[in-house]
A and B are shown apart, each in its own frame.
Chain A
Amino acid sequence: MKRLSQIFGCNLLRPMLAIGIAMLIGTFIILLSNQDPLFAYSKMFKGAFGGFSRITESIERSIPIVLTGLATAVAFRTGVFNAGVEGSLYLGAFAAFIVGHYVVAPSIIHVPLTLAVAALVGAAWAFIPGYTKAMYKVDETVTTILLNYVAILFTAYLVAIPFKDMTAGSQQTPLILDTAHLYRFLPPSRVHIGIFIAIFLAIFLYWLFRRTIWGYNFNMTGMNPHYANYIGINVERTMINSMLISGAIGGIAGAVQIMGILHRFIDQFSPGYGFEGITVSLLARNHPLGILAAGFFYGALQTGATYMDRTTEVPKELITSLVAIIIFFVTAEGLFTYTKQNGAFRKKLENIPGVRKLLQEGVDRNGHST
């Protein structure tokens, strides 16, 4: 157990407890709508894990979330609060459409090329808030959120006018070429090889954080920028580098969704993968391998909720709040443990009135001196 918790960077017991409490509250919510909680929960569980088609749907749903989670984690580790993965995701997705639709090449070239261009576009987009944060101390939380709107609306324009598929009624582009598809290896499900990209990137980041200069610089800049600066790390460059990687993975997340599932760019195709990535990253305390687990949990939860909606009489609004409560509890638990360890993150949170006192009491109790 100890070993396992070290690998995943979080103790599994506490999140479990958080889920338990959340489900208890959920029970009351379901009772409110005069339904049988046991029945509803069993449907939720069945929806997420009951049989091949359900499990594969959960996996399919979790692929983009794992990727956005990883993207978020890189920036968070460095103490940069990148809330703009959603923007990189949209632009990366659109870039994937362009390369996937217009470039003609054999699959072995077409797929990596499409991913690479999407990564570049995502990175370039994240460079803007990264640069202004590092050089001019412009608050990145604000800039990244604003830039999300720019990215989403810009792609909305592209898909509405210049690149619209004239044969379709809705706002979408034509299909990309078959050669740019990510292979679906578990038919009839839509689970595609994007899952290996996600796993590969998680392992890559795990290695990067532990075994490379960049990783060391990211970690130290995130935990104590004064220290990082004092030992000769270029803190500004480090922040920009981490935003570049974050944006690149965000772009890949968008591309993977286009190449694996949708096969075209569709306006508003993301239900908020970028933001779900923030949740997942916090849940896993920015630990890459933890994000694999947390991303799957999140995907399964969503799939289960959708199934519950289809098969029970519990109103959709209540299901949404049920999911929100579970996520809230689990994330709050993760956040609480995490902030105790991470100085920069703490400072950020301390600027929010109310949180400050909560944290202070946390320290008093665990107060540490040499």
Chain B
Amino acid sequence: MPQSEILLKMQGISKSFGPVKANDNINFEVKKGEIHALIGENGAGKTTLMKILFGLHKPDSGTIYFAGDRLDLTGPKDAMAKGIGMVHQHFMLIPSLTVTENIVLGSEPKKNLFFDIKAAEEQVIRISNEYGLKVDPKARIRDCSVGIQQRVEIIKALSRGAELLILDEPTAVLTPQETRDLFVVLRQMVKQGMTIIFISHKLKEVLEISQRITVMRAGKVVGVVETGATSEEQLASLMVGRQVLLRVEKRLSSPGRNILEVKKLWVSDQRGLPAVRGVSFNVRAGEILGVAGVEGNGQTELVEAICGLRHIESGQVLKDGNELAGKSVREIRKLGVAHIPEDRFTSGLCGEASILENLIGGLHLDTPFSSKGVLNKKEIQEFVEKAVEDYGIKVGSVHDPVKSLSGGNAQKVVIARELASDANLIVAAQPTRGVDIGAIEFIHRLIVQKRDEGKGILLISADLQEVLSLSDRLIVLYEGQIVAELVTRQTTEEEVGLYMTGGKRMVVEGGEGV
């Protein structure tokens, strides 16, 4: 492909938020027709740079040249008019509206002053066909999976005539299959002359899809490399500034008694259909039990049922011999269950509340953080300072809203809080989603450390590599049932993959033990 022409040039861009220098004199170039990856640790300033390019932030200094012209953006509308589109890290769709309504919102086609729904739907179908982005124009967003919602966001950007499309961590929320589908679409788009900026923490993906890679660290660009001439290890050390362990180091586990026993568990999903169908397994002290599976095969419901967030239809869940069915979240937590939820901004955190308030959630109900209903300011302050220090959470002030943190730092807040209680069962759902490799290494080490302290860990992850490298034993969920129980060390990615997609199934009798 002839792609030497420079489409975008950002020069000397700086942007500070109070004391935080999110972007520090950044030079960034993208060639026409390439997929350019932008990588860097959490809080490196990737999103900030892209928001500047999309007109959401005004840079403190620096200039942007796009297609030969100097850009002085007044806002996203302006950026879109100039041919720049962006799909945000967190989607901004309105759940109660349909796919079409969301796409045309703000630039509705009109016929004699009235909203022309026909024309709008035709437009959606046209773009959808052109790039192979399959969507149902009439479906409501709240009924769409995350993968579909993302397509809607992409179509929305394309419908505004984007030439340059920014995708901020598009794959963080996708299943491996959805990611593959997305890549097909991206390649198709590039063929039709589109240029793409792709942000991801998953180095494998970056190596697979991009032509060039810009690496950021602490607000600065620390390297621009040709994808063909680099490796995962090199990228990792560029990002972090030191050697990073891409593999988890851990000893063989020496499991003890059963901490969690799940027996013939049935749980229904939102619509009342059975999502977990007669599942039985145990988690023992001092071991990590991984749950592998393509997302949407009952993992979410399983976790919610154990943690008291979802009704148990039938079966038993025993924690240290105590029945959990029918107990409140509070009672279950008091029995020693910690829960790192899969979606940190829906339930794991209260975005508008401060970092401090988020760090003490749940803990605030007990001594030493409160007594007789009154919060203990001093204890809380000490705890929060220590947590921020121990977990290396990069904050300006602990009184800032937690939503101002980068993804990885927000996740550290959840983890710091959940691990602060002395629970002996840790249910960790997607603990490293959207988190950079440095933080992943940190979180993995922490999980292994908790295991070695004799706690039981139930690890749910859509990232096959993570499950395989972290867990001692694993079960595979397919359509709400356990289709395999494996000892991690004796299996391969291929084998697990086969079970995950329903291509193979083991006769698991009741699933008790291994």
Contacts and interface: CB of A to CB of B under 8 A. Distances in A.
Are A and B co-members of a single complex?
yes
Interface of A: 211-214, 216, 219-220, 223-224, 226-234, 341-343, 350-351, 356-357, 360-361, 363-370
B368 interface: no
A367 B56 contact: yes
Contacts of A356: 94
A369 to B, nearest CB: 4
Contact of A229 (B309, B351, B352, B374): B309
A232 B365 contact: yes
A367 B351 CA distance: 13
A229 B330 CA distance: 9
Interface in B369-409: 370, 373-375, 377, 403-407, 409
Nearest to B349: A227
Contacts of B307: 230
B88 A367 contact: yes
Contacts, number: 114
Given A370-B90, A370-B405, 9 more contacts: A212-B375, A213-B364, A213-B373, A228-B350, A229-B309, A360-B94, A368-B403, A369-B88, A370-B410
Q: Which of A219, A232, A234, A350 has the most CB of B within 10 A?
A: A232
A227 B403 CA distance: 14
Given A211-B375, A216-B364, A220-B361, A232 B330 contact: yes
B297 interface: no
Contacts of A368: 90, 403-404
Given A216-B357, A370-B403, A343 B347 contact: no
Q: Which of A213, A214, A343 has the most CB of B within 10 A?
A: A213
Interface string B347-360: 11111110001001
Nearest to B403: A368
Contacts of B353: 219-220, 223-224
11 contacts: A211-B374, A220-B353, A220-B357, A228-B350, A230-B309, A231-B362, A234-B328, A341-B352, A364-B76, A365-B75, A367-B51
A232 B350 CA distance: 14
A3 to B, nearest CB: 13
Contacts of A233: 330, 362, 365
A46 to B, nearest CB: 42
Contact of A364 (B92, B362, B375, B377): B92
A364 to B, nearest CB: 6
A93 B141 CA distance: 49
B159 interface: no
Given A213-B370, A229-B329, A343 B351 contact: yes
Contact of B76 (A220, A227, A365): A365
Contacts of B328: 232, 234
Q: Which of A231, A342, A363 has the most CB of B within 10 A?
A: A231
Contacts of B405: 370
A211 B375 CA distance: 5
A351 B88 CA distance: 24
Contacts of A342: 352
Contacts of B357: 216, 219-220
Contacts of A211: 374-375, 377
B168 interface: yes
B280 interface: no
A343 B345 CA distance: 12
A232 B351 contact: no
B76 A212 contact: no
Q: Which of B90, B92, B350 has the most CB of A within 10 A?
A: B350
